[in-house]
Chains A and B, each alone.
Chain A
Amino acid sequence: MVGIKKIAVHLPYYRLSRKTIGMAWGAKAGKGERRVANFDEDSVTMAIEAGFKCLQQENRDKIKGLYFASTTAPYWEKQCAAICAGVLDLSPGIRTGDFGGSTRSSTNALIAAIDAVKAGLGDILVVTADCRPTLPRSPLEGIMGDGGAAVLLGDSDIICHIKDSYSAWNDITDVWRMDKDNFVKTWEDRFIVQMGYEKDITHSITAIMERNNLQADRVDKLVMYSPEGTSHQRVAKKLGFKPEQIQDSLVDRTGNTGSAQALMMLASALAAAKPGETILWANFGSGSDTLLLEMGERDASSVTGLTLEAGKELSYQKYLAFRGLVQTPQELIRLFPSASVMWRTRKWSAALHGSKCNVCGLITFPIQRVCYSCKSKDNFEEFPLSGKKGKVFSYSLDNLAGGPNPPTIQTIVETEVGARIYCLMTDCEPEEIKIEAPVEMIYRRFHEEAGFYNYYWKCRPIGL
C-alpha cells in the first residue's frame, strides 16, 4: 500500500519574535515568533535541505520522481524541481515537476505522487518550501514564516499508510499575489476565513469522512492547515472534534509557512503518533485537499527536523535587509556568474562531487582531471561529498568583503575523506568559529549578479 516512508522539516536558523516586530513599529506586540530564512536561503534551498534529510541512508537510485511545490518559487520559467534533483544527485531519467499557485501546492504534488506510486513508478520525493513576501507593518508580517518540508512516498518500508484522499477546488480571491505584485494581498479577513478557509476545508473533511464512514471520535489526530494559527480550532470544533484531537498549527513558533505548513504539522503529528492511529490531514489554498492516513510502525529516524528551540533571534533591521526590503551596501563582487559555467560544472557545483584518483586514491574537490599528488590524467571516479562531515581547517572573519550579514566567514573545510572544500560559512555566529569545529555542507543562494540566481555550497556548524 502507498504511504509515507520519511518526512522531514527544515526550519531556518533565524527567529523573529512578534514582540520585536511590534517594537519596530511602535505597535502592540503579538505573542510568539516566526522563522526567517537567512539571506542566502530561498524556497529552493529550504526544500533541498528538507529533501536531504529525507534521503539520508536512502538509495538515491530508487527515487523515480521529484516534485517541488511552493507559492514562492524563485523562477517563473526554469524548473525548480530540476535544480533540486541536480543538487540531491538524483538520476537524470526521472520524473520532475513544479507545483505552485497556492498553499495547497504541496498536497497537490503529494497526491500526484501518490497516483504515480500507485501506478507502479517507484519512490517519489516531494519537496516544498515557502518564503512569502509580506508588507512591513502589515499583520501578515508577523503571521507568515519561512521553512521547508519534504516527504518520501513509496509502497514499501512505510511508516504511515495513505488510505484515501479527497480534493476540491474553489476559485476565490481571498489570498493572492499577482504576477506583478511584490507582496501577498488579502481581502477582508472575515471573508477569507468564512467563505474561503472554513467552507473549503469543511467540505473536503466532511466528504472524506462520509466516504470512509468515519466519525470524529474515531479519528486520533486531526491535522489542519491554519492561516493564522487558530481558525482550524473553530472549524474542528464545529465538525465535532475535541481539542486534544487537534494538532497544533505551529504558527506561533514558525509562522505560517505556506505550502510547507501542512507537511510540518504532519511531521509533528507523526513524531507523536502510535501504531494503528488514524489521522485526518487537511490542507487549504484555492480549495482543499484532505487525506486519510493510518499510522504504521514509526521508525524514529523517519521523522526529522522539528527543532523548534534552535536558532538565533534576528533583529528587525537585519530581517528587512535579508528580504531586500531595505538596501544595504552591496558586496564587492567583480566576477559574475555564468550560465554555461554553471551547467558545465554541475557535477561538482550542484551535486558536490569530488574526484577520487584511481592510481593513488587521493580525494579532491572540485573534480580534478589531473591528480594533485601523482599527476595521473583523467583516471578518477567521481566521489559524492554532500553527505560527508568535515572540520574547519582554517577560517577568516572578513569585514572587507561586504554583504548582507558581515563579517563574511570564509572557511577551508577538511572533509572526513580528506578532500578540502573552500567555502563560506553560514547559519552561525562568528564567535563560535574555531579550527577543528565540525561542519556539514549545505546548498545556498549566492547572488543574482548576472540576472539569474547563482547557487553554491556553504558549510555550517553541525548541530544547528
Chain B
Amino acid sequence: MRKEGIRDRVAIIGMGCCKFGENWDKGPEDMIIEAAYEAYEDAGIDPKEIQAAWVGTTTSHWVGMGGLALAEPLKLHQIPVTRVENWCATGHEAFRNACFGVAAGMYDIVLALGFEKLKDCGFPGLGAGRGVHPVMEVRRTAPSSFAFAANRYFHEYGLSYEEGKRAIGMIAVKNHHNGSMHPKAHFQAEITLEQVLNAPIISSPLGLYDCCGNSDGAAAAIICNAEIAKRFRDDPIYVKGIGLAQNSIAPHFEPEFNWTTFAATQNASKQAYEQAGIENPREEINLAVVHDCFTITELLIYEDLGFSPRGRAREDIEGGTFTLEGKLPVNTDGGLKCFGHPIGASGLRMCYEIYKQLQGKCGKRQIKKANRGLAHTLGGHPSVSCVVILGNEKG
C-alpha cells in the first residue's frame, strides 16, 4: 500500500439516508430512492451526472443480480453499476470501491449506496442459523459469536458476570441516549442501565439491549475528485484513509485467536491511520461511529482502534470518555444500537453521521470540535473489518 493511499484524493459532496426501522410499507427500491435523491439534492447534482455506481447488499433476493438492484429503481441503466459484498463491511465496501474508481481517474462523480431489507426475510435476528458449512452447520447466531468474546474478555480480565454486564451495559445506555436525538434512528428511546441489566438474555451474557436490532435501511454518498469538490459545495468532506482487513471466516478454529482482540479491526485501522497520518488516535480523532453490533463489540473496538489501552476500556467507559461530552465521542448517532444493522447500509450510514458532524449539522448531538472522524465496520464471526477516516479540511 502506498503511504498516503487515498488521502485527499476524493471528496464526499452529498449524502443521503432513509429513515431506518421496520419499514414494512417500503420496498428496497423505496429506500434506495429516498437515500439517493437526498444525496443528489445535498450535492446539488442531477442524477444524469453520475458516471458510475457501486451498491452493497448481502441478502439472498439480491445476491446474483449484480448491479441491477440499484440500476433498476434509480434507472441508472446507462452507466456501470457493480454490486459488492463483504459481510457487515458491505456498505463501506461500496464506498471504498467508489472512492477507488474516482481516485484512479476513471470517473469524476460516482454514487455509492448500501441497503438491506432484513424485515422481508422472516427471521428475527442477524445470522440466526445461517451456519458456516453444510456439514458442520453450527447454528451460529451473531449474538453467540460475540458472546464468545464477552465470556472470554470477562474471564481474561477477571471481570465477574455482574461487572462485565455493567461495563457493556453502559455502552447501550450511552448509544440510546445519542440515538434519541436522531430522527432517522430506528430506536429513539432512552434506556436505563437497570433496564439493560434486567433484559431477557439472547445469548449469555448478552441481553436484549446488548444486541442491535434487525432493521431496514439505505444510505448513499456522492463522491467526486477532490480537485473539483468545491464546485459543488463549500464544505465537502475529504477521505483521509481507508483500510480493510480480514481474519478467518471461523476464527473459532484458529489456535491463536484470543477472542479479546480482533486483528481485522487492528489491521484495517493501521492502514487507515497510516494514510491519514494519524499516530495517536485517542488524541487525533474527534469522533467515531463504530460497529456496535453488540455492546461487547464496541468495548473491544475501543481497544483495537487504540482509543483505550488494552484491557482498560472499562475505565474509559466509566469515566465518560466516549459520551457526547467526553474526550472522544463514539456513536454520536446512536450506532447500530439505535439504527439496527441493515448490513449493506450500515457503513454508509456511519459515514453519513461523520459527514454531518464534520459539517456541524447535527443539532443537539453536535460535538464541539469535529475535524476528523472515523467510521468502522466489523463483520462475520468476526472476519472482516473496514475503517474509513474523513476530514473537513484538505491537505
Contact = CB atoms under 8 A, between A and B. Distances in A.
A395 B203 CA distance: 10
A140 B130 CA distance: 39
Contacts of B202: 398-400
Chain B contact-residue range equals: 35 or more
Interface residues of A, number: 49
B253 A365 contact: yes
A187 interface: no
B314 to A, nearest CB: 19
B230 interface: no
B253 A400 contact: no
Nearest to B153: A394
Contact of A410 (B144, B248, B255, B257): B144
B113 interface: no
A166 interface: no
B1 interface: no
Interface string B235-263: 00000000000001010111111010000
Contacts of A373: 255-256
Question: Which label, helix, strand, loop or mixed, suits the secondary structure of the B interface?
Answer: loop
Contacts, number: 142
A446 B259 CA distance: 26
Contacts of A345: 135
Nearest to A333: B129
Contacts of A447: 137
Contacts of A271: none
Contacts of B140: 410
A399 B129 contact: no
A446 B137 CA distance: 8
Contacts of A372: 248, 254-256
Interface stretch (B13-21, B120-128, B164-172, B301-309): B120-128
* A400, A414, A420, most chain B CB atoms within 10 A: A400
A366 B143 CA distance: 23
B224 interface: no
Given A393-B152, A394-B152, A420-B253, A400 B141 contact: yes
Contacts of A366: 136, 253
B128 A400 contact: yes
Contacts of A207: none
Interface in A425-446: 430, 435, 446
Contacts of A363: 255
Given A332-B129, A394-B259, A398-B141, A341 B204 contact: no
Contact of B203 (A331, A335, A365, A399): A399
A5 to B, nearest CB: 33
Interface string B178-216: 000000000000000000000011111000000000000
Interface string A378-403: 00000000000000011111111111
* B123, B252, B255, most chain A CB atoms within 10 A: B255
A456 B137 contact: yes
Interface string B20-44: 0000000000000000000000000
B123 A332 contact: yes
Given A398-B141, A400-B141, A422 B129 contact: no
Contacts of B135: 337-338, 341-342, 345, 349, 454, 456
A395 B151 contact: yes
Nearest to B131: A335
Given A335-B134, A338-B135, A435-B155, A398 B147 contact: yes
12 contacts: A331-B139, A332-B128, A332-B129, A335-B131, A335-B137, A341-B134, A342-B135, A372-B256, A400-B203, A401-B141, A422-B138, A457-B136
Given A332-B123, A337-B134, A430-B204, 15 more contacts: A345-B135, A349-B135, A364-B254, A394-B148, A394-B149, A396-B148, A397-B204, A399-B201, A399-B202, A401-B129, A401-B141, A410-B144, A420-B254, A422-B253, A435-B151
Q: Which 3 A-B pairs have the closest CB atoms?
A: A332-B129, A422-B252, A396-B147
